[in-house]
Amino acid sequence: MKALLKDRPEPGLTLADIPKPEVRNPDDVLFKVEYCAVCVGEVKVYEWNEWAANDKTLQLPTVLGHEASGVVVEVGPAVKDFKPGDRIVNDPILYCGTCRNCREGFTNMCENREIYGKRRGAFAEYAVLPERSICRLNDRLSLEEGAVLENLGIAMHAVECEHHDPGDWAVVLGCGPIGVLAVQCLEAAGVNVVATDISDARLDFARRNTGALVLDAKKEDPVARVLDLTHGRGADFVIEMAASQRVLEQAFDMVRIRGTVVTISTFNDPVSFNPFFKMTRREIRLQAVMGRNAMTWRRMEQIIDAGKLNLKPYVSCVLSLEDYARGFEMVQDHNIMKVLLKP
């Protein structure tokens, strides 16, 4: 079968023919990959920047790709909830199910976790995963929309970090796919949302697909605007996803006393700030998030069933696996939402 490999520690990828995976374990699920979205993290691996070179979870050679949707082809004898023909999506955090974090429900923080796309992945015609890492695709969604659910999971998990009351103020710094999805999740909870970016295309997308106050950070000071909107109090909740020292500092400057700053970004370089002046004096909470867990998935299902989300606009382009270079270049421009590769 055809698959997209990262096989050398240098820029670029290789489209290769490799053996089709097989059901080997009792809980294995073999599925035909219909779509797999290109992630910013995979662009870093494609470029082979310092971030990628220092990623200890990445083991070469590997098939990349972790935001997939597909159709089940074959299941192992211990699989209970899936059968051939079922439409599925994958959870990129392959968890053990037995460690303390897993037993407490924090499967995204599994002590023995494998991150999908680092040792094996879904930029391929077929893939195999254990049943616990497979989720049924909601009947309301197409397979194309299913490839966006990984991003929705991160957005929902970020929003879940703190309880929100209707009328609270939240700020999302960065209008990429996860950022705009986070805006929509917050709006579904009745929260007032401000969203910022510097990309005209992403600002326009956020304006068309949310009810947030969308600010062009090239033209106005988002900190001053948020303080004005909140009568000097500051935002209750800020999500930072621009991977920028300047934007992280903005987050601290616009959040209220005892507010929360959530960071999701994959920073290329270290950032620096003085915790005493930025956090301690006002008891600011800094929270990092990764992936999603079972509770997140339940809330995602609820918001989808309630008709609160339209995922179709997030699919900017669908390309063949052979046209991967064009897809990665489009994601590098940071002016679109999701590029899907179709094996």
Q: Are residues 111 and 175 in the same domain?
A: no
Residue 339 has pLDDT above 90, yes or no: yes
Q: Are residues 121 and 209 in the same domain?
A: no
Q: Are residues 138 and 176 in the same domain?
A: no
Nearest to residue 62, comparing CAs of 7, 122, 125, 130?
7
pLDDT band at 215 (very low <50, low <70, confident <90, very high): very high
Write the CATH number for 192. Answer: 3.40.50.720
Within-domain flag for 156? no
Instruction: Please state the rounded mean pLDDT for residues 68-74.
Output: 98
Write the CATH number for 328. Answer: 3.90.180.10
Q: Are residues 143 and 198 in the same domain?
A: no
Q: Are residues 9 and 135 in the same domain?
A: yes
Instruction: Please state the rounded mean pLDDT for residues 197-209.
Output: 96
Within-domain flag for 115? yes
Residue 308 has pLDDT above 80, yes or no: yes
- The span from the CA of 68 to the CA of 19, in Å, is 19
Q: How far is CA 111 from CA 92, 201, 299, in A?
A: 15, 39, 24
What pLDDT shows up at residue 295? 83
What pLDDT shows up at residue 268? 77
Within-domain flag for 136? yes
Within-domain flag for 296? no
Cβ-contact 270, 208 below 8 angstroms: no
pLDDT band at 242 (very low <50, low <70, confident <90, very high): confident
Within-domain flag for 234? yes
Q: Are residues 143 and 8 in the same domain?
A: yes
What pLDDT shows up at residue 247? 92
Residue 290 has pLDDT above 80, yes or no: yes
Q: Are residues 118 and 169 in the same domain?
A: no
Q: Are residues 275 and 338 in the same domain?
A: no
For the chain, where are the E strands, in sequence order? Answer: 2-6, 14-17, 28-37, 62-63, 67-75, 87-90, 93-94, 114-115, 126-130, 134-136, 169-173, 192-197, 213-216, 235-240, 255-263, 285-288, 315-320, 338-342
Q: Are residues 100 and 25 in the same domain?
A: yes
Q: What angle do CA 34, 39, 44 make, to 5 degrees?
A: 135
Question: Can you tell me whether residue 93 is helix, strand or coil?
Answer: strand
What pLDDT shows up at residue 273? 87
Q: Report how many domains make up the chain.
A: 2
Q: Are residues 124 and 175 in the same domain?
A: no
How high does pLDDT run on average in the chain?
94
Within-domain flag for 224? yes
Within-domain flag for 108? yes
Q: Are residues 173 and 284 in the same domain?
A: yes
First to last CA, the chain: 9
pLDDT band at 265 (very low <50, low <70, confident <90, very high): confident
pLDDT band at 294 (very low <50, low <70, confident <90, very high): confident
Question: Can you tell me whether residue 5 is helix, strand or coil?
Answer: strand
Within-domain flag for 293? no
Q: What residues make up the domain containing 223?
A: 161-288
Q: What angle do CA 169, 257, 283 make, to 5 degrees?
A: 130
- The full DSSP string for 209-241 is H--SEEEETTTS-HHHHHHHHTTTS-EEEEEE-
> Final residue of a domain: which of 255, 273, 288?
288
